[in-house]
Amino acid sequence: MISHISIVFIAILISAFFSGMEMALISSSLFQIELNKKKDSFRSKILSKSISEPKKFITTMLIGNTISLVIYGIYMEKLFFSIFPKEFLHNSLWIIFLETVFSATVILIIGEFIPKIIFSVYSNELLNLFIIPVYIICKIFSPITNSVIWISNVFLKILGEKENDKKKIFDKEDLIYFLSENIENNIKGKGKKFVEYEIEIFHKALDFSEKKARECMVPRKEIISSNITFSSIDSIRNLFTESGLSKIVIYKKNIDNIIGYIHYLELFKKPKNIESVIRPVELVYITTPVREIMDLLIKKKRSIAIILDEYGGTAGMITIEDLLEEFLGDIKDEHDENILLDRRLNDSEFLFSARLEIDFINAKYDLDLPKSEKYETLGGLIVTYTGNIPKYGEKIIINKNFDIEIKKVSKNKIEEVFLKKNIDLK
């Protein structure tokens, strides 16, 4: 009986080991492993070599786990029959049911659930710790592993599926994980806030290539512009003075026909007419990646790009500064409002500017406002749900979780709103 208990106990530990190593491979940072390989240590080289063929690694772990579970099942049955008295064994169905429930519970908790949690949390550390015995096991089981993989590939071909042997390519998620985990330990002599700022810039740089023009443009309604037909040098000078801007967009007939912009420095040259100081702009579409816009502006040595909608009308404008903000965060900008209303009244009530971005509000107040590719701001969310610009005092319910009341609205846009989160709802 003692031997049966020992074998069952060892089988559970072996099963837990194989299950944990399988989870460790799935949860590990391959980027970190490849970096450790550069240290030229024997253990890191073995680890890198082992994970270079993840299919073989996982198959070996599954084979080892299966063998241990078979042994566990055989000896658990013998242990049950040795524990219970003979008169109790006459009801074999009851014994089978009891043994199945007990065996399954033990192996699920001790052999699967607990080790997978532990190995997923400390995946890289435990992979590095156990890689040498695992490598030996992989070599011992390699004939069986290769046979299992070959049989699975045959079935895949029969089913019309192609074998996927593409090697893992490190992506930005691997890089972000590595950076977040290690940068604070590697950078010395800098404050924590500064390190966090560097990490944030790096994250933004990695996300930069995925952003579209509409995500960082100045909306059409907020473009300060002038009609060339009715403009003069004096009127443009006054517009610069009143607005405090350094650039004024110039259009012909209407804002959908922008012909360029004027920089305030040109007025110091005492131009004879407006046409002589108009600088050209680039035209791009609302779905154009911002990376392409930046490349275009740098290549053409331009400062402003006009964003066109699907019909060719002006949707907004974007400047080099707007693009830089995607890396560095908010820069004091001539087009930005001095103050965007952002006030918490209590745990569930807020006053917001409609210009605030949904991502910003959710991150700061953990509100979980619905997000969509159709809008970026709180005002965009409201207009999307209502289908129009609400009137002052109008109340809107979003997903039954948020009550919104319009506090300030102009002819063309929502300015300020009152938002209440219904915290009692589940």
pLDDT tens, position by position, 281-305: 999 999 898 888 988 988 888 889 9
Residue 223 domain-assigned (yes or no): yes
**């319009």: which residue's tokens?**
406
Among the candidates 296, 328, 360, a domain finishes at 328
Tell me: do 84 and 100 sit in the same domain. yes
**């997903």: which residue's tokens?**
399
Residue 42 domain-assigned (yes or no): yes
Judge whether residue 260 has pLDDT over 90: yes
Judge whether residue 136 has pLDDT over 80: yes
Query: Confidence band (pLDDT; 50, 70, 90) for 163?
Result: low
* Confidence at residue 335, expressed as pLDDT on a 0 to 100 scale: 46
Q: What is the CATH number of the domain that holds 240?
A: 3.10.580.10
Give the number of domains in the chain. Answer: 4
Judge whether residue 157 has pLDDT over 60: yes
Q: Where are the strands (E) in 282-332, listed by range? A: 282-285, 304-308, 314-319
pLDDT tens per residue across span 173-212:
665 555 555 554 554 444 455 455 555 666 666 667 778 8
- Kindly report the number of other CB atoms within 10 A of residue 129's CB atom: 13
Residue 21 domain-assigned (yes or no): yes
Tell me: do 221 and 93 sit in the same domain. no
Tell me: do 103 and 194 sit in the same domain. no
Tell me: do 315 and 204 sit in the same domain. no
Backbone dihedral angles phi then psi of residue 256, each to the nearest 5 degrees: -75, -5
**Top-confidence residue, 83 or 267:** 267
| Average pLDDT value over all residues in the chain | 81
Whole-angstrom CA distances from 23 to 20, 59, 93, 339 are 5, 12, 35, 49
State the burial class of residue 309 (Cβ atoms within 10 Å of its Cβ: 0-12, 13-18, 19+): middle
Tell me: do 11 and 137 sit in the same domain. yes
Tell me: do 272 and 188 sit in the same domain. no
Tell me: do 153 and 184 sit in the same domain. no
Tell me: do 394 and 308 sit in the same domain. no
Q: Where are the strands (E) in 332-398, listed by range? A: 342-344, 349-353, 395-398
Would the pTM count as exceeding 0.75?
A: no
Tell me: do 8 and 79 sit in the same domain. yes
- Write out the residue range of the structural domain in which residue 299 sits: 213-328
Residue 333 domain-assigned (yes or no): no
Tell me: do 13 and 121 sit in the same domain. yes
Tell me: do 319 and 405 sit in the same domain. no
Query: Confidence band (pLDDT; 50, 70, 90) for 84?
Result: low
Residue 97 domain-assigned (yes or no): yes
Tell me: do 56 and 198 sit in the same domain. no
Q: Where are the strands (E) in 268-365, listed by range? A: 282-285, 304-308, 314-319, 342-344, 349-353
**Top-confidence residue, 397 or 166:** 397
The continuous run of DSSP H or E covering 254 comes out as: strand 254-263
